[in-house]
Structure 1
């Protein structure tokens, strides 16, 4: 799905071809594989006694090793594709950077706060859990959604890095504001969130730092040893499919971990899912339209939309469990987050590709 228009020659490129025809078999049936992975995970978690407890036990300092492994395998190939020598073209795009910061750190948390209070006024634990999800801006899985939607890889790497920095600096303060200060101003019940900067930094270092360094070193030494042509034409096609393998493995593990809770509390899951569905739809479509309105091309608008709509579920779940306990409603809300986000953002990948031609023209002019 990573083919892009041939903007250098001006000739019709792969992006001008019908989307489905240019996809590999793996990409073409992506939705089928993901639905199958969700079903396998749910069935395994429901039917295999003690599976969830066993998976939860494979952890180091609160980090689930199976989930960490899946995410690292998923992110590494995509970050190995990034042209790090082009990052200056992204850091110089003030429209993109400013818009992303506003969407991620002003509008996103505020929207989730509003939706949580509007749709879950009688469920304080789930409401708090969703607000935490809204504060944890995406740094991991968004990399693959952006790549599948033919977004700008370099822009994705930069925006994710910026989100990581802001996450370490601002997460605890925003949690205090949205759970204690703002509800107090509005005359609403207040909650507390105690989270250390190290807990946040640990999530960033593991789920972004490791694959980012690995991807950078792979490109640097791979190109140095055998040249860019070999790297792009030989190595990348070999390691590329592992991104989807890692994604599917992560989905199976996530659903297996919570299969029993999800199937035994369907009404609660449905209540939690409603504000999440509204959030993902509003943030993604609004961000894509805003990118177009401020003059960004398709690739960077798609990157803007996915980085604004996605959330760092690893951090949200870890914070909810550490603060409120593994069996709390806040933890369940955190877990339901990625279970809704994965199928919704997969669907939005296809919506994004469909809107590319309608909103930006047949060849979806590249950003500069």
Structure 2
């Protein structure tokens, strides 16, 4: 790990300060950049996410994906956490804090929207940033891609029914433009670029030589991934700087259940992986995928249901701001607890050869 990566938490803190300052110093520029979006997907952030995701996509051995199911433990843990635990714990925390603990400090009749925003976040597993967290913990890129792809497929069918059940609302409309555009921009485009790069670089090379070439290449471009992360943090906090500075008490109240949810869900998934003796290069991304949220989808649904300036939409936005520092702290923790897990299994190598009769 380079000295730059070792002090990543400091750079992120400085990026948060820079984002808040940018929102105050150049509000017109920030407003222009924020307006470059469609379906709650900001194109500037999408480009920066490409920088972050691309190195991991280059490391994906496409031929080995067919054998990911041979190591199902990480997938089982993440699926249980994402779809059977996380939405319901988020709803319970929302009720606890905004119907009871924080009720004296919010406007009467608004608790439902706070709870709704939390549910919309909790029911949407992340699509893009998990590739970054996985890369920072030296996660298995093949597992990460397979798990994200499976979550995306389940989300098409399960997101609306779960949200409808928890909100008691039957007319949930999934914003397909947000869902499809996010998957295309954050997964498909960098994956195609990564596969093309891998094919060009390893053409005619032996397997061992090919892996060496890929490893050297991803090592050279990794700094651009970190810079992309820092620039994304600057933009996210710049976009919402006015809200943060004008409503610090509200932001703090929303952040508390989100923090409890994030660290609690990570603990459940990480300890389950440890107990089940899952190798660290799967256990870390397994817990990260279970913890992070698909905030673009949550924001889009909140706006569609409650309006652009609603409390529910504000809650989903705060979810974005809380997630980045939290996930970086979990990356730090995962990297320092690598010894808790069994030795990492060798990567899967293409389809298993057929046995002769």
Query: Which TM-score applies when normalising by structure 1?
Result: 0.85
* Aligned pair partner of 1:235 in 202, 212, 217: 217
Number of matched residues? Answer: 333
Matched with 1:31 is: 9
Q: Report the Cα distance in structure 2 between the residues aligned to 1:287 and 1:234, rounded to whole angstroms.
A: 32
Q: Which residue in 2 is equivalent to 1:5?
A: none
- Check 1:225–1:320 CA distance in 2 against 1; reply closer, same or farther (3 A cut): farther
Runs of 4+ in 1 over 4 A off after TM superposition: none
Report matched runs for 1:160-199 at 5 Å.
160-180=148-168, 193-199=172-178
Query: 1:27 Cα shift?
Result: 0.9
Shift of residue 203, structure 1, vs aligned partner = 2.1
Q: RCO higher in 1 or 2 (8 Å CA, sep ≥ 6)?
A: 2
In 2, Cα distance between the equivalents of 1:265 and 1:201?
Answer: 33
**Of 316, 322, 327, the match for 2:298:** 316
Query: Matched residues in 2 for 1:118 and 1:225: separation?
Result: 60
Residue 253 of structure 2 is matched in structure 1 by: 271
Q: Secondary structure at the match of 2:27?
A: coil
Q: Equivalent residue for 1:50?
A: 28
Q: Give per-residue Cα distances to partners, 1:76-121, cap 9 Å, x unaligned.
A: 1221122333334422223222222111111111111111111122
Quote the residue 1:63 is aligned against: 41
TM-score by length of 2: 0.87
Counterparts of 2:19 and 2:152, CA distance in 1: 29
Going from structure 1 to structure 2, the CA distance change for 1:206 and 1:233 (only over 3 Å counts) comes to closer
Answer yes or no: is 1:92 the counterpart of 2:70. yes
Unaligned runs of 5+ residues in structure 1 are: 1-22, 181-189
Separation in 1 of the partners of 2:187 and 2:306? 25
Q: For 1:123-272, list aligned pairs within 5 A.
A: 123-180=111-168, 193-224=172-203, 228=210, 231-272=213-254
**8 A contact 2:40–2:297 mirrored in 1:** no
**Deviation digits for residues 198-224 of structure 1 (CA, Å, limit 9, x no counterpart):** 432222222222112221222122211
Aligned-partner SS, 1:240: helix
CA contact (8 A) 1:151 1:303 kept: yes
Using the TM superposition, give the Cα deviation of residue 340 of structure 1 relative to its aligned residue in structure 2, in angstroms: 0.9
Give the conservation status (yes or no) of the 8 Å contact 2:40–2:296.
no
Distance between the aligned counterparts of 2:298 and 2:236, measured in 1? 14
Q: Give CA deviations for 1:148-182 in whole Å, capped at 9, x if unaligned.
A: 122222211111111111122222222212211xx
In structure 1, what is the Cα distance between the partners aligned to 2:180 and 2:158? Answer: 11
Which whole-Å deviations, capped at 9, do the CAs of 1:49-80 have from their partners, x for residues lacking one? 33442222222454311111111221112211
For structure 1, which segment, 89-98 or 221-230, has the greater mean C-alpha deviation from structure 2 after superposition? 221-230
Partners of 1:74 and 1:244 within 8 A in 2: yes
Give the match for residue 118 of structure 1: 96
